[in-house]
Structure 1
Amino acid sequence: MSPNTDYRAPGSAGGRSFAPTDHLATEAVAAYVDGELRMNAHLRAARHIAACAECAAEVDAQGAARTALRGCADITMPLGLLGALADIPSREIDLRSALERSRDTDRRNPDRGGPLSAPGFPVHRPSRWRHR
């Protein structure tokens, strides 16, 4: 398979231009509202928004959401959650002791805790030693 030497990227010289029937992507709407588009992209989007009621409504909705979020009070969290999150990096878990407890339990009661130990589940346990 050979590359298409006639291909030109959209927006580049010789490439397909933005068609007025193409709608703005959600990311483009957000970037337009936030003023993050480069000048050429901003002008193309503005021309499209002037001609497309659907995209204009999306821009209005995005702008209203942006205004509402910026006007909200500071976000707070319960102190208990904040404390628990703050303890995460400093909390150490000794996995060896948990593993030893698990082994001790298995030695004392080998029938306890396995997936086949559910009540009503008949299990045939072969003997450990082969008889010849």
Structure 2
Amino acid sequence: MTETRAPRQFGSTEHLASEAIAAYVDGELRMQAYLRASHHISICPECAGAVDAQQQARGALRRSGEMTMPLSLVGLLSQIPSCNTHTAESAPGVDAGFGALGKRLSRRWRK
């Protein structure tokens, strides 16, 4: 005989993890998880406040504009040794060392 379990519900003392709150705000949760989180947020003022704070932080970052990085930091980051298993040949679009991000950063600050 097989037992059917009801979906897990959040207890009244449980709260959403910070990663779940960020995923909720970013729209990265699957539908079932999103619905459970939405229900919990609707009855938990603490988690609702955390979601509001995350939404405000997300908005502030989006409005902050382009960020700059000192050229010296780009140089230091480019010196990070590469992993032998991830080379340009094994991972298209990623070069050895700091990778594609390093290439973009280097080009950007050379201008």
TM class by smaller structure:
0.5 to 0.7
**Number of positions where the alignment pairs a residue of Structure 1 with one of Structure 2:** 78
Partner SS for 2:38: helix
**1:18 and 2:9 correspond:** yes
Query: Residues 53 and 76 (structure 1 numbering): CA distance in 2 closer, same or farther, change over 3 Å?
Result: same
1:56, distance to aligned residue in structure 2 (A): 0.2
Q: Distance in 1 between matches of 2:52 and 2:46?
A: 10
2:107 corresponds in structure 1 to none
Greater length-normalized contact order (CA 8 Å, ≥ 6 residues apart): 2
- Percent identity over the alignment? 52
Aligned partner (choices 32, 41, 48) of residue 24 of structure 2: 32
Larger Rg: 1
Q: Distance in 2 between matches of 1:52 and 1:86?
A: 42
RMSD over aligned CA atoms reads 2.6
1:78, distance to aligned residue in structure 2 (A): 2.8
**1:66 and 2:58 correspond:** yes
1:107 corresponds in structure 2 to none
Greater per-residue helix proportion: 2
Q: Distance in 2 between matches of 1:46 and 1:86?
A: 40
Q: Per-residue CA shift, 1:10-59, capped at 9, x if unaligned?
A: xxx41661234121111111110000111111111111101000000000
Preserved contact between residue 20 and residue 48 of structure 1 (Cα < 8 Å): no
Normalised by the size of structure 2, how large is the TM-score?
0.58
Aligned partner (choices 10, 33, 36) of residue 41 of structure 1: 33
Unaligned runs of 5+ in 1: 1-7, 90-132
Partner SS for 1:46: helix
1:57 corresponds in structure 2 to 49
